[in-house]
Each structure stands twice: as C-alpha cells, then as structure tokens.
Amino acid sequence: MNMLLHGLPDADIRKGDVIREPKLLIDGQLMLFDRVIANPPFSLDKWGYEVAESDGYGRFHYGVPPKTKGDFAFVEHMIATLNQEGKMGVVVPHGVLFRGGAEGRIREGICKEDIIEAVIGLPAQLFYGTGIPAAILVINKNKPRERRGSILFVDGSQDYLEGKKQNKLRPEDIEKIVGAYRSYQAMPKYCRVVQLFEIEENDYNLNISRYVDTAPEEEQIDVAEALRELKQLEARRREIESQMDGYLKELGYGN
C-alpha cells in the first residue's frame, strides 16, 4: 500500500521474515542492490536470534546482535544486500549509536570497515508509535576518496514543525540536512566531519552530541564596561542616599 501511495505500482513486494527467511534471493544467495532504504522496528525483542549464529547468508560477520534488541540485525542484513557500489539509509533508535556489549563490537567492526558516511539525528516524535528521537545511518560501500576515514555527524533534532501528537520535518529542514550531507563540511552547532581516529578514541561511540556541540554560546562579558557601569550605579546610589538624608532632615528625623 505504501509503495502504491508513492506512485510505485511495479514494485516487487514479497511477504516474509527478512531475518529468518529472506525472500529476495538468486540461486539461494541474497540479491544485491544499488540502494537499500528501511525504517525497521525499533529494538525488536524476537527478531530471529535463534537462527543468526548459523545464518546461511553470511550476514552477521560483524557479530550477532543481542537476543532482545534486533536493531543491528536489520542493519547487518541491509549491508549484506549492498553491491560494491551500494548505499543505504536506515532509521535507528539512538541506542544503536552508543550501546555497548555485542552492539558495541558490531559498531566497531562497521566503523573499522569505513563504510559509515553519515549519522543524522532527527527530532523526537517524528514517527508513529514512538516519541523517542531517531537517527539515520548512511552507509556507503564506495565512499568518495575525500570522505574516507571520516564520518559526518549532523544534529537535525532542533529543526521541525511541532504538532500536537507528531512532529514533522518541513521542506527547509530536509533541505538543510541534505545540504549538509552533500557539502560534507562543518557547520557551527549543526554538523561536523569527524576523523575515524577520534571515533576510535571514543570507543566507537557514535552518539551525535559527543561530536556536535549544540550548547548556546556563552555571553561574552566586557569587564571594563561592567566596571564602568558598576561605578555609575555606585555614584547613583550615593546620590539617592544623600537625597534621602535631606528628606529625613526636613521631616525632623535627621540629626
């Protein structure tokens, strides 16, 4: 239905379980694609852990995800279906970016392979059924030479149209994200290109806030000007006290 609504009536759609029993096969092997896009269920607890270790399609060479969190199962499946020129975009909960254990080891393996091109943070309450903020992982099997050895981090979490139950990305918000991805250059308080050695120093933690500082700028204080204002206020205080003393004397309260 979603494909039909978006004007793609000739799509090859097959019902099945992509982890336990993938349907898009050629001669018993996974079909490979130029582009793969998905918004898998977040942290699925019954994703097919029981078949992962004996997976016949070689999808889990980075490691087997935790039994109760299937996020990386879908990510690894998608990577396995990319051809050598392939690129993918996948929506994930932020926990995928920093959780440790098996997920940390998987994340390390993917980072070391240098196929992550961008990590894009999205606003909260953007998707039906969950209010938590999500991120987009952009993975490219053939990163341009000038992008190799680095990852672009984009914090797009503050730019959106607020709704009563669900927030929306406006056209200008999408254009800003796309522009940042295409330019692959730092923008203050919004995005930054981070070298892999820095990510390694952070134990392959991909949490966006670790690399993009969005805190408001601290107001700069002109000390000399502040002292001048203080002296003026002090002089004004003495002037007012003198006036008060005069009024009190007129009323007979002074000495």
Q: Where are the beta strands (DSSP E) in the chain?
A: 25-26, 29-30, 33-38, 82-93, 116-121, 134-140, 150-155, 191-195
Q: In terms of residue numbers, what domain contains 202?
A: 2-210
The percentage of the chain sitting over the pLDDT mark of 90, rounded to a whole number, equals 73
pLDDT digits (tens, 9 = 90+) for 162-206: 988 899 999 999 999 999 999 999 999 999 999 999 999 999 999
Centre a 10 Å sphere on the Cβ of residue 81 and count the other Cβ atoms it contains: 19
Count of domains forming the chain: 2
Residue 255 banded pLDDT, cuts 50, 70, 90: low
Q: Are residues 202 and 223 in the same domain?
A: no
- Same domain as 226, residue 153: no
The pLDDT tens digits for 76-101 are 999 999 999 999 999 999 999 999 99
Q: Reply yes or no on whether the pLDDT at 149 is more than 90.
A: yes
5 pLDDT higher than 80: no
Cα–Cα distance measured from residue 147 to residue 203, given in angstroms and rounded to the nearest whole number? 21
Residue 132 sits in a domain whose CATH number is 3.40.50.150
Same domain? 49 vs 144:
yes
Q: Do 47 and 65 form a contact (C-beta atoms < 8 A)?
A: yes
What's residue 254's pLDDT?
61
Q: Which amino acid is at 8?
A: L
CB-count burial class (<10 Å; 0-12, 13-18, 19+) for 14: exposed
241: pLDDT strictly greater than 90: no
Distances (CA, A) of 163 to 114, 125, 135: 38, 9, 19
Give yes or no: residues 111 and 147 share one domain: yes
Residues 121 and 188 in one domain: yes
User: Two tokens at 14?
Assistant: 């097959």
Same domain, yes or no: 121 and 79: yes
Mean pLDDT along residues 132-161: 97
Mean pLDDT, range 126-140, rounded to an integer: 91
49 half-sphere exposure, CB direction, 13 A CA radius:
12
Is 91 in the same domain as 70?
Answer: yes
Indicate the pLDDT class of residue 246, thresholds 50, 70 and 90.
confident
Shared-domain flag, residues 132 and 250: no
What's this model's pTM, rounded to 2 decimal places? 0.82
Q: Tell me the per-residue pLDDT of 26-71, one tens digit each, with 9 for 90 and over.
A: 999 999 999 999 999 999 999 999 999 899 999 999 999 999 999 9
| 130 class by beta-carbon count within 10 Å (0-12 exposed, 13-18 middle, 19+ buried) | middle
Calculate the average pLDDT of the chain: 92
Going by C-alpha positions, the residue among 61, 120, 111 that lies closest to residue 92 is 120
Q: Does residue 224 have a pLDDT over 80?
A: yes
Same domain, 240 and 151: no
In angstroms, rounded to a whole number, what is the distance separating the alpha carbons of residues 73 and 3? 24
